[in-house]
């Protein structure tokens, strides 16, 4: 992978394809490779930019706590380094939170936004407490805590689960705990997405056990013009479970 020092962090990234820029933001606790199956169906339509968010994959991280806005700032600075002023963004799960934070912080730089198995709502007090408890357990027992808890919930597809578990287990303790804490503290952006005035795409499986499809339906009710791709029988990893359908949805950004 290519690497660039961004905001004191060494960010790893890949870039391929031709067309308008599209930043693909991975979810938790994963890296850019989750998009691989969909890339051949997108590279003739977009200039694809695939970063590893700070701490994940081959990217480094700082010891200090960070927020979704900080991750969005990393992406803005990475785009600056490419000379890219505006882009589409597509975020899976946590990557959707980063995409939303980017759209709020840098609205003039967003052509369109796709939320893939994600949501605009913030965490409930109980969910915040759960994330912080999990972060403490990961710090004590390692990343396997999260891999064991999440893998089966990601997908009913054994092939996808078999690919996801080792990917999760490769992530660092610092990355996983930092992201859990950042997600717990993230802003509720329901009101923001209700007034979002750029192209909006929603891609969500109706069998998602981690973020229910009702979260996407709620956004659609706030944004009737959004392009909504509800995928029957698909769980929390549409780009791996249904790459062709996911790619088709992302092309609606154009």
Smallest Cα–Cα separation from 138: which of 179, 97, 107, 106?
179
Superfamily of domain 2-122+186-251: Alpha/Beta hydrolase fold, catalytic domain (3.40.50.1820)
Catalogue the E-assigned strands of the chain.
2-6, 9-16, 21-25, 47-51, 87-92, 110-116, 199-205, 227-231
> Given a cut of 90, is residue 63 above it in pLDDT?
no
Burial class (CB in 10 A: 0-12, 13-18, 19+), 173: middle
Q: What percent of the chain has pLDDT over 70?
A: 100
First and final C-alpha spacing in the chain: 27
Q: Under DSSP, is residue 24 helix (H, G, I), strand (E, B) or coil?
A: strand
> Given a cut of 90, is residue 26 above it in pLDDT?
yes
Domain positions in the chain: 2-122+186-251
Average pLDDT over residues 177-201: 97
> Given a cut of 90, is residue 62 above it in pLDDT?
no
Average pLDDT over residues 56-72: 93
In whole angstroms, give the CA distance from residue 60 to residue 62.
Answer: 7
- pLDDT confidence band for 207 (50 / 70 / 90): very high
Burial class (CB in 10 A: 0-12, 13-18, 19+), 9: buried
Q: In this structure, are residues 59 and 53 in contact, taking their beta carbons and an 8 Å threshold?
A: yes
pTM of this structure: 0.97
The predicted pLDDT at position 64 comes to 80
Q: Which residues contact 157 (CB under 8 A, 6 or more apart)?
A: 235, 240, 241
Burial class (CB in 10 A: 0-12, 13-18, 19+), 241: buried
Q: In this structure, are residues 192 and 206 in contact, taking their beta carbons and an 8 Å threshold?
A: no
In whole angstroms, give the CA distance from residue 86 to residue 78.
Answer: 12
Tens-place pLDDT, residues 107-137: 999 999 999 999 999 999 999 999 999 999 9
Catalogue the E-assigned strands of 61-165.
87-92, 110-116
In whole angstroms, give the CA distance from residue 2 to residue 16.
Answer: 12
């Amino acid at each position: 992978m290519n690497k660039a020092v961004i905001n004191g962090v060494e960010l790893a990234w890949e870039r391929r394809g031709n067309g308008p820029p599209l930043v693909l933001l991975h979810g938790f606790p994963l890296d850019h490779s989750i998009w691989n199956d969909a890339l051949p169906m997108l590279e003739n339509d977009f200039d694809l930019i695939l970063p590893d968010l700070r701490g994940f994959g081959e990217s480094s991280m700082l010891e200090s706590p960070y927020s979704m806005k900080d991750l969005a700032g990393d992406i803005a600075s990475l785009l600056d380094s490419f000379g890219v002023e505006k882009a589409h963004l597509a975020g899976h799960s946590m990557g959707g939170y980063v995409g939303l934070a980017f759209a709020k912080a840098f609205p003039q730089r967003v052509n369109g936004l796709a939320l893939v198995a994600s949501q605009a709502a913030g965490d409930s007090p109980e969910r915040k407490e759960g994330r912080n408890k999990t972060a403490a357990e990961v710090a004590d027992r390692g990343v396997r805590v999260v891999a064991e808890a999440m893998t089966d919930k990601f997908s009913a597809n054994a092939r996808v689960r078999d690919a996801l578990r080792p990917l999760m287990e490769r992530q660092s303790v610092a990355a996983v705990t930092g992201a859990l804490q950042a997600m717990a503290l993230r802003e509720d952006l329901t009101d923001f997405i209700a007034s979002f005035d750029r192209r909006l795409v929603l891609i969500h499986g109706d069998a998602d056990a981690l973020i229910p499809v009702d979260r996407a339906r709620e956004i659609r009710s706030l944004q009737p013009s959004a392009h909504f791709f509800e995928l029957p029988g698909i769980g929390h990893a549409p780009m791996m479970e249904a790459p062709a359908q996911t790619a088709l949805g992302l092309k609606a950004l154009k």
